[in-house]
Amino acid sequence: MDSGQHAVSHRSGILGTFFKLLFMVAFILGLSWLLRTFVFQTYEIPSGSMEDTIMTGDMVFAEKVSYYFREPEPGDIVTFQDPQIPGRVLIKRCIAVGGQTVDIGDEDGLVRVDGVALSEPYTDGAPSFTLSGGVSFPYTVPEGSIWVMGDNRTNSQDSRYFGAVPVSSVTGRGALVYWPVSDFGLLD
């Protein structure tokens, strides 16, 4: 083999390696985009509205697959587009769905759905009260919407403030706290 053929062979080897590396990077980026768009999303929790279930600073996985097969249900922890600040995602607990009526007893601090007081162990017994400037009660959730509330009822701007949110704005179901390790666990 003469030196000209060796140089061409060497260049084509480098070029081949470059294209393989470029393909691998494009594949990984494409797969990452597909997973984040259709399977799961990660979030860092910026506020205490879901304490003690999810703490400020926790990192959470929200999965998207279950809502391809069903709508959010009461008790689900959902991520959704903030109805007041475009581009911001909130995380709260679904309390009621379309057609259900929510009422909050300012005397006893209990949340009632269709006249039945909810058992809400995730609030650690903290009372729920209406928010000034918020919606009027009793409130019937429109079809195609859900009523959401933070587990930390004294520190949460939620449906009591901005009303029901459209199911179409739901981006996922909170599934797992993965960081810090001390808070690691499934969400329910």
Look up 92 and say whether it is catalytic: yes
C-alpha angle 18-20-23 in degrees, rounded to nearest 5: 110
**Do the beta carbons of residue 157 and residue 130 sit within 8 Å?**
no
Torsion of CA 3, 8, 14, 15, to 10 degrees: 170
Distance CA 23, CA 34 (A): 16
Separation between Cα atoms, residue 146 and residue 141, nearest integer Å: 7
Distances (CA, A) of 7 to 11, 16, 17, 123: 6, 14, 15, 72
From the list 32, 64, 66, 92, the catalytic residue is 92
CA–CA distance from 37 to each of 62, 71, 93, 165, 166 (Å)? 11, 18, 22, 21, 19
Alpha-carbon distance 186 to 176, whole Å?
4
Helix (H) or strand (E) holding 2: none
- Which residues are known catalytic residues? 49, 92
